[in-house]
Amino acid sequence: MLELKNIYFTIPESEEREGGRRNIINGIDYVFEKGKFYAITGPNGSGKTTLAKLIMGIYPLSQGTILFKGQDISPLSITERAKAGIAYSFQQPARFKGITFRDLLTIATGVDDERKLLEILGRVGICPLSFLDKEVDARLSGGEIKKIELATTIAANPALAIYDEPDTGIDLWTIGPMVSLLKKELAERQTTTIVVSHNRAFLEAADVVMIINSGRIVYDGNLEGAMPLLDDLSVCTYRDSCEGERDAGCYR
Amino acid sequence: MLDAIDKTLLKTVADLEGLPKGAYNIRKNGKLLSRQVSANIDIESNAEGTGIVVTVKPGTKNESVHIPVILSQAGLYDVVYNTFIIGEDADVTIVAGCGIHCGSSEPEGHAGIHEFQVGKRAKVTYVEKHYASGDGRGRRSLNPTTRVFLAEGARAEMELTQIAGVDEANRVNEADLGPDSMLLITERVLTDGDQSAVSTNNIVMKGAGSRANMISRSVMKGNSKQIFYATIDAQNRCFGHIECDAIIMDNGTNETMPSLKAGHPDAELTHEASIGKIANDQLTKLMSLGLTYDQAVNRIIQGFLK
């Protein structure tokens, strides 16, 4: 349902290496199947979030093509991709002055009927009713805003839902219900689900674990098969520059 | 008595479909158009004949007063002095507002000087909207002044809004806070084209335990310009906060000068100020929910000025 064809995202290299260019996403080909749960993981800076943002159209492709339900969506704007059925949950959600959770739900669903909004809240489950008229501003805690972010994504009934680190700021007791909720949406609506995460709960829930490193897919398959590689990647790659203890146990 | 233009102006500045319930005073083109008093709220013209005195009896609860002003006469600059005396323990809402309809090339304007004396433990909610319309090219100016005196334990919530169409505004808010009193001012100003607005706010915190919060939201479209001054002068143990945010669109400009003066060791004063374009992450988020760029901009501004 989603096909990435030889996609690249290239940026100018940092100032010290003048004139150079660097591929953040370095030639990815992949086919995501309808109704499956994908977990994308990999070290910091490997390109996971960039890949997710290329799919949503937040970053422009430097090269390659993205097909969604057979249609080339590469030239489409964020708005057009949203209307085509892709939803995106941000790692660090925007905060607004004067816009409430209710407003965001209404924008996402076109529903402003109180009873229907309450139904949606019931379905999403992890947001208390008291959230509905809260402003989505700087007063919300990190966990509260992430729940709201997840809820607006689910409420839009997307064919493809992308979640960038949905567990950031979420307490341990909510991660389990959050995983169950995504699985339930997938089972009931065949929502193709992509979660970028380091959290084992999401990796275990996924049908397919993908590991990204240096802008390429270095593994896709079940979690068991991914484990040796994940252990390898957890070894510090910064020791040369950090000049710390030989093994300080710092999993960067 | 009310013509079509009057009705539109009244609807916009005072949310009135016709004549309001309860006490009201409607002023049109510098003259009294209609007035009604209630058992607890009296309205009289002042001795000089330049405005009204609204007196609310002590203990009056849940009543409201509407005092809209409408202008549709070319070349008129209407100045009005209104005084509000709110009795002890009363709880009332005052809805003011000025609508200008300018159909010619002559300038029109209004200056409303409003003074509030709020008695002990009384609470007043003051809502003021300013709006101008019409095809005429005459400059429309609105220069409101509010002066608030809060007695011990009194509370005032003021919502001051300039919606659209005002070419020039010189807004002044002054407040004098007694012990344990509380003041909340929310000012929202939208300018466009070559319009300009200056807002000057001076809050003097005289009483121990007084609290003040001044919130300003400004949006500058076109080539418009806004200047915002706010000073909290703390003369006693108190808490004061200024929050001023300005969103620049097109080629608008803004100057914001919050100022805090602590004249007492137990004064706690804070301010936050920001000026800039609409944040990109806000636009991206709303577009990812299906809004177009323009719809996202409008929604963000609408929320910001809500």
How confident is the model over A31-40, as pLDDT tens digits?
Answer: 999 999 999 9
- Does pLDDT of A130 surpass 90? no
Mean pLDDT of A22-48: 92
Residue A170's pLDDT is 84
- The verdict on A103 touching B (C-beta cutoff 8 Å) is yes
- pLDDT at position A252, please? 39
When mean pLDDT is compared across B133-142, B149-158, B234-243, B264-273, the lowest value belongs to B133-142
pLDDT at A249: 47
A126 or A134: which leads in pLDDT: A134
Could you tell me the pLDDT band of residue B269, with boundaries at 50, 70 and 90? very high
Tell me the average pLDDT of chain A.
87
**Tell me, which fold does domain A2-242 have in CATH?**
Rossmann fold (3.40.50)
What chain A residue is nearest to B282 in terms of C-alpha separation?
Answer: A94
Q: How far is A164 from chain B (nearest CA, A)?
A: 13
Q: Is B77 in the A-facing interface, judged by CB distances under 8 Å?
A: no
Could you tell me if B284 lies within 8 Å of chain A, comparing CB atoms?
Answer: yes
- Average pLDDT of the segment spanning B101-126: 87
pLDDT at A236 over 70: no
More confident: A121 or B301: B301
A246 Cβ under 8 Å from any chain B Cβ: no
Q: Radius of gyration over alpha carbons of chain A, in Å? A: 19
Note whether A99 contacts B245, CB cutoff 8 Å. Answer: no
Of B215, B284, B289, which to mutate for an interface test with A (greatest number of A Cβ within 10 Å)?
B289
What are the structure tokens assigned to A16, written together? 């010290």
Whether the pLDDT of residue A194 is over 90: the answer is yes
Question: Chain B closest CA to A155's CA: distance in Å?
Answer: 10
The pLDDT assigned to B19 comes to: 67
Confidence at residue A244, expressed as pLDDT on a 0 to 100 scale: 55
Cβ partners under 8 Å of residue A47, min gap 6:
A9, A24, A25, A26, A212, A214, A215
pLDDT of residue A245 exceeding 60: no
CB contact (8 A) between residue B288 and residue A88: yes
Cα–Cα dist A83/A90, whole Å: 18
pLDDT at res. B147: 96
Residue B106: the pLDDT is: 75
Which residue do the tokens 């304007």 mark? B109
Smallest CA–CA separation between A32 and chain B, in Å? 20
Q: What pLDDT, on a 0 to 100 scale, did the predictor assign at position B144?
A: 87
Amino acid at B9: L
How confident is the model over B129-170, as pLDDT tens digits?
877 777 777 788 888 899 999 999 999 999 998 877 788 889
Strands A2-12 and A21-32: what pairing? antiparallel
Asked whether the beta carbons of residue B288 and residue A103 sit closer than 8 angstroms, the reply is no
Contacts of A107 in chain B (CB under 8 A): 286, 289-291, 299
Residue B31 — φ and ψ, nearest 5°?
-130, 155
The per-residue pLDDT for B211 is 97
Mark yes or no for CB contact A98/B281 under 8 Å: no
pLDDT at B107: 77
Element (H, E) at B300: helix B293-304
Mean pLDDT of A50-71: 95
- Average pLDDT of the residues in B71-94: 88
Least confident of A169-173, A209-213, B151-155: A169-173
Contact B304 A97 (CB under 8 A): yes
At residue B281, the pLDDT reads 95
Contacts of A133 in chain B (CB under 8 A): none
Nearest to A195 by CA among A227, A149, A228: A149
* Of A122-136, B233-247, B250-264, the least confident: A122-136
How far away is chain B from the Cα of A13, in angstroms, using its nearest Cα? 23
d(CA B192, CA A88) in angstroms, rounded, equals 34
Shortest CA gap B293–chain A (Å): 8
Q: What is the domain partition of chain B in residue ranges? A: 4-279
Residue A70 clears pLDDT 50, i.e. is over it: yes
Is A96:A137 a contact under the CB 8 Å cutoff? Answer: yes
Q: What is the CA radius of gyration of chain B?
A: 20
Residues of B in contact with A82 (CB under 8 A): 287-290
| B206-225 average pLDDT score | 96
Contacts of B284 in chain A (CB under 8 A): 58, 78, 94
Question: In chain B, pLDDT over 70 holds for what percent of residues?
Answer: 96
Q: What is the mean pLDDT of chain B?
A: 90
Whole-structure pTM value:
0.84
Instruction: Report CB contact under 8 Å: B290, A94.
Output: no
**Chain A contact for B289 (CB, 8 A cutoff):** yes
**H helices within A85-141, ranges in order?**
101-109, 114-124
For B215, name the nearest residue in chain A, comparing CA atoms only. Answer: A97
What single letter denotes the amino acid at residue B204? V
| B298 lies within 8 A of chain A by CB | no
Residue for token digits 């030639």? Answer: A27
* Across B76-85, B174-183, B292-301, least confident range: B76-85
Lowest mean pLDDT, pick from A232-241, B142-151, B155-164, B189-198? A232-241
Nearest to A98 among B286, B293, B304 (CB): B304
List of chain A residues whose C-beta atoms are within 8 Å of the C-beta of residue B293: 77, 79
Q: Measured between alpha carbons, how far is B168 from B198 in angstroms, rounded to an integer? A: 8
